[in-house]
Amino acid sequence: MTAAQGEALSAAETTAYRLGSGPGGWVERLGEDVIISYKSDAALAELLQGLAVQCAAYGWQARRVFARFMPTKNAERVSPVLHNGDATLPLTTVVTEAGIRYGLDMGAGYSHGLFLDQRLNRARLRAMKPKRLLNTFAYTCSFSVVAALAGAETLSVDLSRKSLDRGRHNFELNEIAETGHRFVVDDTMELLPKLAARGEQFDAIVLDPPTFSRSANGRRWQVEQHFEDLLGAALEVAAPKCAILLSTNCTKFDTATLERRARWCAKARRRTADYEKPVAPPDFPPGHGATTLWMMVR
Ligand SMILES: C[S@@+](CC[C@H](N)C(=O)[O-])C[C@H]1O[C@@H](n2cnc3c(N)ncnc32)[C@H](O)[C@@H]1O
């Protein structure tokens, strides 16, 4: 991140972004705090050094630095730990992105609550001003917040009640009344057919599933295996001109693969669409961040 990029983000009321990325991890600014995600002790030392150089160059001092080890196995993931700073301060904080407020929690688990690589996709969704948004795998509902602020009715679905409660909190932080906004604890794959049976239609749909998951009833989700089932079911509730955000962190998908598989689904459901590859945020170098694609249904 250059000083000019940092200044442009601050001018746009964005206080959460990547400060630096490397093969051993990355450094994120989260308001007054910093979190370092690292793969080894040597990488942590290098990232801390890079942070010190940047802070000295920009005359900025982080209030606290958290460090999050990235294990190769998901089951070994733990919450970030405080590396330096005041241990008596709360683990929660609020950051802004384009003036929108999001609550983060360093004590809530492996992820703090906002995926910074989706910043430009959130901005794009907001600019589209959809009337009805379906946000699947919604996590803390950041996509729902931006759509709601643009006037949309929203439906956010996630397996995790805790994540949706954090989503509700994000609505409160932005003074969005709950009217017209639904938060549904369910398996996306089970909810989509119910929505279709009720004749519900949406103008924008976010499909940003994890690589693997298992729901309370034991149903296994695996993006590589179930991608077509998900998109096919989503197309059943896609209104004409619906914008569908396809997003995955699975390394088996690049943009070309996403588009090829999406085209196959569209054909199978007799829909046509245009495909638009989003511009990556400048703080995310190639190979960092989710693979995403906008599918603009005709
Ligand atoms: C990658 S995060 C989504 C991030 C979100 N799109 C955002 O930008 O903040 C994955 C989320 O999917 C949820 N999840 C996993 N499997 C699910 C399923 N089968 N149905 C609904 N939600 C699921 C998890 O609880 C988690 O909150």
Q: Which domains does the chain have, with CATH numbers?
A: 3-105 (3.30.750), 116-297 (3.40.50.150)
| CA angle (171, 173, 175) in 5-degree steps | 70
| Atom 8 in ligand 1: residue holding the nearest Cα | 115
CA distance 27 to 70: 13
Q: Which two tokens stand for residue 237?
A: 């509730």
Place of tokens 């089951």: 75
Q: How far is the CA of 137 from the centre of ligand 1 (A)?
A: 3
Q: Report the nearest atom of ligand 1 relative to the CA of 206.
A: 6
135 lines ligand 1 (CB under 6 A): no
Tell me the two tokens of residue 262: 């999406």
Ligand 1 atom closest to Cα of 160? Answer: 25
106: closest CA among 155, 161, 33, 183?
Answer: 33
Q: What's the confidence (pLDDT) of residue 96?
A: 98
35 Cβ closer than 6 Å to some ligand 1 atom: no
Q: 225-243 pLDDT, tens per residue? A: 999 999 999 999 999 999 9
For ligand 1, what atom is nearest to the CA of residue 114?
9
Cβ pair 283, 124 in contact under 8 A: no
Mean pLDDT of the chain, nearest integer: 95
- Ligand 1: nearest atom to the Cα of 113: 9
Distance of CA 241 to the CA centre of its chain: 23
Phi-psi region of 218 (alpha: psi -120 to 50; beta: other; left: phi over 0): left
> What pLDDT is recorded for position 77?
83
Helix or strand holding residue 145 (H, E): helix 142-149
Pocket of ligand 1 contains residue 203 by CB under 6 Å = no
Q: What share of the chain is helix, strand, coil (3-state, %, to 5)?
A: 35, 30, 35
Using the mean position of ligand 1's atoms as its centre, give its distance from the Cα of residue 135 in Å: 10
Cβ(213) – ligand 1 distance below 6 Å:
yes
Q: Which of 110, 118, 120, 139 for mutating ligand 1's site (highest number of atoms within 8 Å of CB)?
A: 139
Distance 142 CA to ligand 1 centre (A): 12
Q: What is the pLDDT of residue 215?
A: 86
Contact 291, 121 (CB under 8 A): no
Residue nearest to atom 11 of ligand 1 (CA): 137
Q: pLDDT tens, position by position, for the chain (298 residues)?
A: 788 888 899 899 999 999 999 999 999 999 999 999 999 999 999 999 999 998 988 888 999 999 999 988 888 888 899 999 999 999 999 999 999 999 999 999 889 999 999 999 999 999 999 999 999 999 999 999 999 999 999 999 999 999 999 999 999 999 999 899 999 999 999 999 999 999 999 999 999 999 999 988 889 999 999 999 999 999 999 999 999 999 999 999 999 999 999 999 999 999 999 999 999 899 999 999 999 999 999 9
Under 8 Å between Cβ of 231 and 259: no
Q: How far apart are CA 147 and CA 141, in angstroms?
A: 10
pLDDT tens sequence across 13-26? 999 999 999 999 99
Query: Cα 135 to the chain's mean position, in Å?
Result: 11
Q: Cβ of 194: how many Cβ atoms within 10 Å?
A: 12
pTM over 0.95: yes
Q: 290, 208 in Cβ contact below 8 A?
A: yes
Nearest to 68 by CA among 92, 104, 34: 34
* pLDDT (0 to 100) of residue 59: 85
- Supply the pLDDT for residue 38: 96
Q: What are the two backbone dihedrals, phi and then psi, of residue 71, each rounded to the nearest 5 degrees?
A: -75, 160
- Decide if 143 contacts 133 (C-beta within 8 A): yes
- How many A from CA of 41 to the centre of ligand 1? 30
CA of 198 to the centre of ligand 1 (A): 23
- Torsion, Cα 6 135 139 156, to 10 degrees, reads 130
pLDDT of 4 reads: 86
| CA of residue 205 to ligand 1 center, whole Å | 14
Total residues found in the chain within this entry: 298
CB of 115 within 6 A of ligand 1: the answer is: yes
The pLDDT value recorded for residue 217 is 85
Cα 291 from Cα 252, distance rounded (Å): 10
The C-alpha atoms of residue 143 and residue 123 are separated, in whole angstroms, by 9
**What separation in Å is there between the alpha carbon of 261 and the centre of ligand 1?**
21
Sign (positive/negative) of CA torsion 35, 277, 212, 236? positive
Whether 140 is in the pocket of ligand 1, judged by its Cβ within 6 Å, is yes
Instruction: Find out whether the beta carbon of 118 lies less than 6 Å from any atom of ligand 1.
Output: yes
